Homo-oligomer: A and B are copies of this chain.
């Protein structure tokens, strides 16, 4: 079975950890990574803290994902410290990048108040040495990318509209260019069964169809008879796609068999 390329996300911001903001950014990216045939291995949500960033980014790089995406902390204010944290983790200097500075200046020429704020604008164009800016078509802070060993590190802003615009403009082409194929997936709803009654039939099906992934989610309460289980079966390897329907049919036969044998029990 072909191994799909791997990704990690690091989402940065106190607002995510004090419960102000729900991290919908990671979820949005997770869906896209999956549809491009990538495997998202881990999401880490970190505080606005240099120590947390250094530790979190360093830890992710040691797991050697093909792509590491950081979200948030690229803006002009004091608590935006993602690039400083990345530089620390990479043991690199921060330097003003002329291409990034031109992007920030071009953006501000569209705005009214534009004098006296240079230090805060330079901050958004100050990148870890060797990094490249990614154009931000709907906001000020550019995205940033740098290669670290086998890992392509990408830093995006936390404002959802800006994150999505840079992702679609600059990140999607990177992810698509690697030769991957979307996983195929089949979902069915099973009504009137509890998860522990499904478990033995599911175990047998899993063994009969190696290479397929099975994931069951109980959606109804187990305290009553009416229960709904949502079952997802998917394959990452294109050679296994055709077996998905067979696996579902096999599982349903196994379930019917065990229901009959339970009825025969005293």
Residues of A within 8 A of B (CB): 14-24, 26-34, 39-48, 52, 56, 59, 75-79, 107-108, 110-113, 115-117, 119-121, 124, 138-140, 159, 161, 194-200, 202-203, 206, 213-218, 221-223, 225, 232, 234, 258-259, 261-262, 265
- In the complex, the answer to whether A42 meets B17 with C-beta atoms within 8 Å is yes
How many Å from the CB of A64 to the closest CB on chain B? 13
Q: In the complex the two chains form, what is the Cα distance from A18 to B123 in whole Å?
A: 34
- In the complex, the answer to whether A40 meets B17 with C-beta atoms within 8 Å is yes
Task: Classify the secondary structure of A's interface with B.
Answer: mixed
- In the complex, the answer to whether A217 meets B15 with C-beta atoms within 8 Å is yes
Residues of B within 8 A of A161 (CB): 221
Residues of B within 8 A of A194 (CB): 111, 113, 140
Residues of B within 8 A of A44 (CB): 42-45
User: Can you list 25 A-B pairs, Cβ within 8 angstroms, ordered by A?
Assistant: A15-B217, A16-B43, A17-B41, A19-B32, A19-B33, A22-B24, A23-B27, A44-B45, A75-B195, A76-B195, A76-B196, A77-B203, A78-B203, A78-B214, A79-B216, A107-B222, A113-B262, A116-B258, A116-B265, A117-B197, A119-B200, A121-B196, A139-B218, A140-B194, A159-B218
- In the complex, the answer to whether A43 meets B24 with C-beta atoms within 8 Å is no
Beyond the given A42-B45, A108-B196, A121-B196, could you list 9 further A-B residue pairs with CB under 8 A, ordered by the A residue number?
A: A14-B215, A17-B30, A44-B45, A75-B196, A76-B196, A77-B195, A111-B222, A111-B225, A115-B262
Residues of B within 8 A of A113 (CB): 194, 197, 259, 262
